[in-house]
Structure 1
């Protein structure tokens, strides 16, 4: 028999019992008491609120949300109800609704501690750094500093706001805190790298695998010792991928130096890369053995070779790029396209483009407007969206259509989007693109590539093709904070947002630069 039968049959007694049962995680008993209270008073807000907890504890999320919504309707100025609704919305992935409820809870109770922390995190992830910092600083004022990542979250905000002295001091405070972990080292690495402090940045960057995937970086645990950084005679070194396609393309900028060092002592290098890069890498780095490698899915098969040591690709940076001069000395192209495949695309462009109609060879501009969705985490999905440009935002370029042939560089996943901007008359080859070997052959026929910050921009840059990269306001560390040209690729130029989410100004700047280039070209001919 349930203990509820020993409780006085009035609302206060039933709710006291309900709350006690919830604390003891006896959710079935709690629900019985809450529903009994609602029988006595169907419009009792707290009874609905506690029933929501009990339903949730029993795994009935639908009824939990129904009950909480009713509690808010009955008592709309209860901050705890709004806080709980915000937590539910976060669990459901509805961040805007969560932020609305957190904001409402804080209007009603400005010092509701968990609401300050959670809302601050939402604001930080939404890149509302000043507002986020306000929440975190209020917690500090209240001497509530037990939140595990408080100091490094404040560091990120200070860094994003270019308050560098405060950012540095707060990072050091984070490192000194007992509960600050590897994620703080990762954020600090990206911060220092964005400031061109490569010696410090890459040192901390090498701690990235300690984050246990929270930074969306994963490394396969190969059964070989980590390479010392100096080749031994006849040694075989495995270099393996651990991040995205763009990262592996960028890290490949160091392969020639690595292979030169190996060759000097008769050592061998095995490169394990994503399948989509295998043909491209094999063609451009013939001194290395190639293996396809997908972390967590299909790791490289090395059963037929002897390996002495291994190193994740990203660790090469700390060995070969310690200062700015190291970048400046190695910006030459390191990728080339297969001539036969490039000739195939040359013929296809002539046949499918407007050149087939009037015989005019126009200035060929490759367009990559959208990064593929990142399924790794909500944070990276947000970044994917933020760094992509809606294709219709490029419509101001249409007034140069007489002199330009636009070529899509999107892959099969997003290639059909070209049809949403028929005014640009984009020639689409997405169905032909099977890997980056193919993409390189297509790019080899272009005069300019305009690509958002994604793998195609690294490929075009690594080929030495003039490349323009429109960057979101808080761009990735590899692009620095203010520079106008890439330190990785000699022919890559940046067009930066001055306001978050404002692509109009960026597109206008590219339009003006492209118009100037076309006019100069016409004047010379």
Structure 2
């Protein structure tokens, strides 16, 4: 359809009508035709941005929408007299939001700075503060929040976000005080009750935390955040019956995460007979989660389905395909980039503890259930360099986890924090870094330690989890923070020491040095929040003994 200059206004109006009626493809087609005729048409460019955001909340949609917003802003800037209008202000706010969700944090902050210049409102002060927080620029964020609170002292949202910021700065008592101030202003603010509960849980005030989550759920029975946080607290305390049941609320928290092929109609309930049926089990979260909970597929296999397919992340498929325990149980491994076969019922791997009525005392530990053949037996070239000596113990080290994990700042360490121990022990231990990549800031130190024969850097050899498993097989011990490699070593039956923060992930439970998930593992826990030095000292004593 050709759009003449005289009918552009009508095309925009028609596109808006199509969008309001849910006919997004037709609206998009009209707007694209407008842009073909008038490439700098602000309403058409911004309209395509908003339509793209309606397509979904995945990063690809946000990235495409951000590009349309950028074009709209550039076109708008070329129009005289537009710089301070409400139209410009609204576009800046939405563009900044979109860039933030696309991962373009610096660009988002730049747009928010312009927004605040045009409209220095408490709302925009908060928006820019959140932009600084996303970039870990906490001083700037706190200054903006304090300005906003001075301008609007009775806005509970400002005190709530001040609490979140104070928690990031390690000022935990002040964090809780800010939440309580917010609740005095808005006693029914569900997000504040939830975050208060999390803050109390992180201080091991578990009963108080549970009361906060309970109040949030009373105020809003549909609050997935209240339910999942209560579930994780129950699980951390070993209260599996309530914990696993409420953990099913995770599907309703945040953007949709359940695959399109899985819905309530074909959900296995854990009770229905599987004879003659095909069941599809699927991974849903991180690599470590998949490796930990895949053991439960072996229990499902005991139900004698006609066919059992386990869908895992593509990065793990080779590892699972090479692990005979699953093939021996008749479990087919499917990469998540392959087409989904026909099936009768499905279940997420992390729903199996609920469906199988798992309890702490009944956690199955069929160790090892992950294994790979040696490089020579697998017909692969040996990429791992041989140990430099034969008399030293061989220990693998993982000092940080996935930097994108929501709790990474709490659970990860730095290589510099381990350096003294590595140098003090390397004459009796051959240390190997089990990282396929490290942050740029740590590469010079890793290179120095490698050249000094203190810590082997085998990154070129670790191109897959199967490669990492082959390296682990040659070691005497793995020491790791809470990471996928810790689960890999545990599932392989390798002795593994797991280094945990004061408030660990729920799976590691509390107040114990062992774990029923991996009987050969030993846990080293912080006894005070954020203090790693005593943990390193305990590890060094354990190594010496």
TM-score range normalised by the length of the shorter chain: 0.7 to 0.9
Say which SS state the counterpart of residue 446 (structure 1) adopts. Answer: coil
In structure 2, what is the Cα distance between the partners aligned to 1:506 and 1:402?
A: 21
In structure 2, what is the Cα distance between the partners aligned to 1:260 and 1:68?
A: 61
- CA deviation profile, 1:52-91 (whole Å, cap 9, x unmatched): 988634639868736856999xxxxxxx66x743421313
2:430 is aligned to 405
C-alpha contact 1:331 1:490 (8 A) present in aligned 2: no
C-alpha contact 1:246 1:458 (8 A) present in aligned 2: yes
In structure 2, what is the Cα distance between the partners aligned to 1:234 and 1:364?
A: 48
In structure 1, what is the Cα distance between the partners aligned to 2:232 and 2:459?
A: 33
1:271 to 283, 303, 310: 310
Say which SS state the counterpart of residue 232 (structure 1) adopts. Answer: coil
Q: Give 1:254 shift.
A: 1.7
For the pair 1:243 / 2:285, whether they are aligned, the reply is: yes
In structure 1, what is the Cα distance between the partners aligned to 2:417 and 2:453?
A: 11
2:162 to 101, 114, 119: 119
1:225 to 266, 287, 304: 266
Q: Give 1:469 shift.
A: 1.1
Q: Structure 1 residues 180 and 347, CA, compared in 2 at 3 Å: closer, same or farther?
A: closer
Task: Report the TM-score, using the length of structure 1 for normalisation.
Answer: 0.74
2:365 to 314, 330, 346: 330
In structure 2, what is the Cα distance between the partners aligned to 1:396 and 1:312?
A: 43
1:395 is aligned to 419
Q: Structure 1 residues 260 and 178, CA, compared in 2 at 3 Å: closer, same or farther?
A: closer
Q: Which runs of 5+ in 2 are unaligned?
A: 1-80, 97-109
Say which SS state the counterpart of residue 261 (structure 1) adopts. Answer: coil
For the pair 1:462 / 2:478, whether they are aligned, the reply is: no
Q: Which runs of 5+ in 1 are unaligned?
A: 1-34, 36-49, 73-79, 375-379, 517-525
In structure 2, what is the Cα distance between the partners aligned to 1:363 and 1:52?
A: 69
2:340 is aligned to 302
1:138 is aligned to 181
Say which SS state the counterpart of residue 469 (structure 1) adopts. Answer: strand
2:504 is aligned to 475
Give the alignment of 1:464-503 within 5 angstroms.
464-503=493-532
Aligned length, in residue pairs: 438
C-alpha contact 1:52 1:68 (8 A) present in aligned 2: no
C-alpha contact 2:480 2:486 (8 A) present in aligned 1: yes
In structure 2, what is the Cα distance between the partners aligned to 1:325 and 1:342?
A: 38
- CA deviation profile, 1:155-214 (whole Å, cap 9, x unmatched): 222222233332222222211113751121111111111111011100011121111438
Say which SS state the counterpart of residue 281 (structure 2) adopts. Answer: strand
Q: Give 1:276 shift.
A: 1.9
C-alpha contact 2:112 2:127 (8 A) present in aligned 1: no
Q: Structure 1 residues 308 and 424, CA, compared in 2 at 3 Å: closer, same or farther?
A: same
Task: Report the TM-score, using the length of structure 2 for normalisation.
Answer: 0.71
C-alpha contact 2:231 2:244 (8 A) present in aligned 1: yes
| Greater Cα shift, 491-500 or 126-135 | 126-135
Say which SS state the counterpart of residue 171 (structure 1) adopts. Answer: helix
In structure 2, what is the Cα distance between the partners aligned to 1:348 and 1:113?
A: 58
Q: Structure 1 residues 431 and 193, CA, compared in 2 at 3 Å: closer, same or farther?
A: same
Say which SS state the counterpart of residue 258 (structure 1) adopts. Answer: helix
Q: Give 1:512 shift.
A: 1.4
In structure 2, what is the Cα distance between the partners aligned to 1:505 and 1:69?
A: 48
2:387 to 347, 353, 356: 353
For the pair 1:419 / 2:447, whether they are aligned, the reply is: yes
Structure of larger gyration radius: 1
In structure 2, what is the Cα distance between the partners aligned to 1:276 and 1:117?
A: 39
Say which SS state the counterpart of residue 450 (structure 1) adopts. Answer: strand
Say which SS state the counterpart of residue 302 (structure 2) adopts. Answer: helix
For the pair 1:56 / 2:56, whether they are aligned, the reply is: no
Say which SS state the counterpart of residue 482 (structure 2) adopts. Answer: coil
In structure 2, what is the Cα distance between the partners aligned to 1:186 and 1:227?
A: 21
Superposed CA RMSD in Å reads 3.4
